[in-house]
């Protein structure tokens, strides 16, 4: 069964909580989350850092969006190893994980995003990290790939637009 690590922004976009994205991006995130629920396994950390971030941004009980529904599904299935895989992480300091594969790259990462990479790297199958809108990941995906970590960009046009806005003098890196 395929496995994935899911950045929080995928859930937020699917719940239409990112006003700057295109309708195509929302649809891509919705469809990808539905595919994960039906045919894949979500990989999270056993200390619930990822779940905690999801819950800080979305309310599974009150929210009506697809991201909230997905969060509720993960919460309901977190003890079911056929749907959710748990990975142990070694946290030396807040957001500093032994399992992050490239210490120089870790310094460039937003500290809260490091857990997604650490979980993907710690898992034996090296699941892809699903990414919707964080354009900084375009700078990092090549170095992550060198460690066996693939980033699946769900909103290519939007992320390129965001990258150009954030880094107007830089060419857009090739997207796998």
Q: How big is the chain by its Cα radius of gyration, in Å?
A: 15
End-to-end CA distance of the chain: 22
Domains of the chain by start residue, with CATH = 3-166 (3.40.50)
Name the DSSP class of 52: H
Mean pLDDT for all residues in the chain: 96
Q: What pLDDT does residue 1 have?
A: 82
Would you list the DSSP string of 87-129? E---EEETTEETT-S-HHHHHHS-GGGHHHHHHHHHSTT-PEE
The pLDDT, as a whole number, for residue 144 is: 96
User: Under a CB-based contact definition with an 8 Å cutoff, are residues 176 and 140 in contact?
Assistant: no
What pLDDT is attached to residue 62?
85
Write out pLDDT tens, residues 28-55: 999 999 999 999 999 999 999 999 999 9
- pTM assigned to the model: 0.96
- According to the model, what pLDDT value does residue 86 have? 97
Burial 22-45 (b: 16+ CB within 10 A, else e): eeebbebbbebbeebeeebbbbbb
Report the pLDDT value the prediction gives residue 176, as an integer from 0 to 100: 81
Angle made by CA atoms 108, 120, 138, in degrees to the nearest 5? 40
Assign 83 a pLDDT band (cuts: 50, 70, 90). very high
Confidence grade of residue 81 (pLDDT, cut at 50, 70, 90): very high
Each residue of 141-168: pLDDT tens digit? 999 999 999 999 999 999 999 999 999 9
Query: What digits encode the pLDDT tens for the residues 17-30?
Result: 998 999 999 999 99
């Amino acid at each position: 069964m395929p496995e994935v690590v899911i950045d929080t922004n995928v859930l937020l976009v699917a719940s239409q909580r990112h006003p700057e994205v295109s309708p195509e991006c929302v649809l891509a995130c919705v469809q990808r989350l539905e595919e994960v629920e039906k045919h894949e396994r979500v990989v999270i950390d056993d200390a619930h850092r990822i779940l905690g971030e999801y819950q800080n941004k979305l309310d599974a009980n009150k929210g009506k969006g697809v991201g909230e529904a997905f969060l509720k599904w993960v919460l309901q299935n977190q003890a079911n190893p056929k749907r959710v895989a748990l990975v142990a992480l070694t946290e030396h300091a807040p957001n500093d994980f032994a399992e992050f594969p490239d210490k120089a790259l870790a310094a460039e990462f937003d500290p809260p995003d490091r857990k997604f990479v650490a979980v993907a790297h710690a898992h034996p199958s090296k699941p892809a990290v699903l990414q919707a809108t964080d354009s900084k990941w375009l700078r990092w995906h090549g170095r992550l790939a060198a460690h066996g970590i693939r980033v699946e960009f769900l909103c290519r046009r939007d992320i390129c637009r965001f990258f150009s806005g954030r880094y107007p003098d830089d060419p857009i890196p090739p997207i796998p």
